[in-house]
A and B are shown apart, each in its own frame.
Chain A
């Protein structure tokens, strides 16, 4: 099946610094990718939809200037957490679907996640 890979798997950074997380679709082209955040014992919360070649669409309440998303190619989307603070510590997960349009149900493929700890 299709594979989505995230890097790094975990990262520790100092408060005030920025961290970049990469999401790659390894064997398919993804014009759209999704970024989620998950706090302990909670469900995944959709942060934004990343569109190749255009601006990302952010969910309500997500600061677009803090969580910068770049989708520069059909296989790579990046999420940069700028000026990170301890409350940004979380598990970040990306997802992509096969580029099939229309009304056919398709599964979403998820990366393995990135554990961000801000100290």
Chain B
């Protein structure tokens, strides 16, 4: 399983765009990159998943460079409710187990 490295914490003001970068130097050819959000005392919630280039959904964008050794989660115009821990995971789907790194604690400031 590819190891991931993220900043431990980030602060941002409301209304700003937040970019959280994850490093995964030993990502395998068949691995996908998935980001989850976790609020206190709740299970993680899926945000976005991608394999290469750019993926966008209604809540976030995911940028993946050609070498796939890193990825950036972009949250447009964050609000206080986006204060949470964000986890970057790398791996294949199906029955492969999902292991978590340290995550990034995002604090949105009014």
Classify chain A: how many residues form its interface, as a range: 20 to 34
Given contacts A43-B87, A111-B43, A113-B41, A106 and B102 within 8 Å (CB-CB): no
Give the distance in Å from the alpha carbon of A103 to the alpha carbon of B49 in the complex.
14
Q: Give which listed residue, B41, B44, B87, B93, contacts A100 with CB less than 8 A.
A: B93
Q: Which 6 A-B pairs have the closest CB atoms?
A: A105-B32, A106-B93, A110-B43, A107-B46, A44-B100, A105-B93
A32 touches B95 (CB 8 A): yes
Contact across chains for B46 and A108 when beta carbons are under 8 A apart = yes
A46 touches B99 (CB 8 A): yes
Asked if B46 contacts A113 (CB within 8 A), the reply is no
Residues in A neighbouring B31, C-beta threshold 8 A: 105
On whether the beta carbons of A105 and B44 are closer than 8 Å, the reply is no
Can you list 7 residue pairs at the A/B interface with Cβ under 8 Å? A6-B43, A43-B101, A44-B100, A91-B41, A95-B98, A103-B30, A110-B44
Q: Is A82 an interface residue (CB 8 A)?
A: no
